[in-house]
Amino acid sequence: MRLGVLREPEGEMRVALVPNSILKLSKSGFEVFIEKDAGVNANHSNEEYEGRGGKICSREDVLSCETIVSIRTPDLSGISEGTVLICVADPFRNPDTVRRAISSGITLISMDMIPRRLSRAQSMDVNSSQDNLSGYKAVLMGASEVPKAIPMMTTSAGTVKPAKFVIMGSGVAGLQAIATAKRIGAIVYASDVRKSAAEQIESVGGRFIEVEGMDDFEDESGYAKPLTPEFIQKVNDTVCEVASDADVIVTTARIFGRPAPITIPESAVHSFKKGSVIVDMNADVGGNCELTSPGEIVIKHGVKIIGIKNLAGTIPSSASMLFSNNITNFVISISGDDGLILDSDDDILVGPSEDSDFFVEGMGGVLICSSGELHKNQTRLGGIL
């Protein structure tokens, strides 16, 4: 069985597979082919891959493998019919990719569709592994850009008060952001539309911002539910009021398969104190701040707004290692003597069955299309194809 690792396009510093994963894959019967210089940006040389048993080769050789792994979805025109492509396809936002895979007879497996509530899938959950690092890096970026010290400092010249951080959202990224901000000495406030998140926020050192009338707005798959416009406004008003004197505000609100909700309108930015910093973690899907400029750092109304995309990719060594572990665990879990086994009863591949505790109507797994057809359990994608 041949498994190929593609070099990512310009701007993506991560690599889908690191050298340490090759031994595990080899024991499961895979020959691993790595496109030349695929790991250079993540600080893994060609020699390091070869030292672990990998084979450095051309892109054409990688594209000829039966199974191909990457982070970004590659150009499908060079991939043969019957190939299994494992990547982060983000199918809801990239329906044309799904259509091309179907028409080309490519089996498309999108790792961002892992059913995260399945305990067996946790070691394969690329969303969680990358979000963890993104939350960490968002706080460091905010701390480096704000014009004051973060922890309290008592000196002979006077006392420096600790910085105030507000973290909007407390999913995987948000909790890591709270914990990181607390570790570097900030006073941390955090919000979430899930009332059940209060205990989690407090467990990592944050202070929960409660909104009057708050319920537990979480769906069965673990994601935040879409909210009514009225409640969104109430949440925005309450949290932005708490953030009005904050030094750093980190936004993490992301709704699966939808554009990022606006949690900081321009009117709120206007009321924030001069010199404060907003780190928008969802610039890649529109941004949580109305004034975010995706891919840029801008100053509006005296507030610095960081819209850097792909925060995990700015820590390529750690991000690649975790992504590689996710991919390796997944591939080994579905491999057999004669190749990958795409079992229609596998909850990770097709989503939980109706008699499962984790079943949600229309919830699919990572297998988006197989044998040139949209997979039967991927009903959530029906509206875009």
* Catalytic residue positions, numbered: 116, 122, 125, 128, 223
**SS3 per residue for the chain:** CEEEECCCCCCCCCCCCCHHHHHHHHHCCCEEEEECCCCHHHCCCHHHHHHCCCEEECHHHHHCCCEEECCCCCCHHHCCCCCEEEECCCCCCCHHHHHHHHHHCCEEEEHHHCCCCCHHHHHHCHHHHHHHHHHHHHHHHHHHHCCCCCCCEEECCEEECCCEEEEECCCHHHHHHHHHHHHCCCEEEEECCECCHHHHHHHCCCEECCCCCCCECECCCCCECCCCHHHHHHHHHHHHHHHCCCCEEEECCCCCCCCCCCCECHHHHHHCCCCCEEEECCHHHCCCECCCCCCCEEEECCEEEECCCCHHHHCHHHHHHHHHHHHHHHHHHCEECCEECCCCCCHHHHCCCCCCCCCCCCCCCCEEEECCEECCCCHHHHHHC
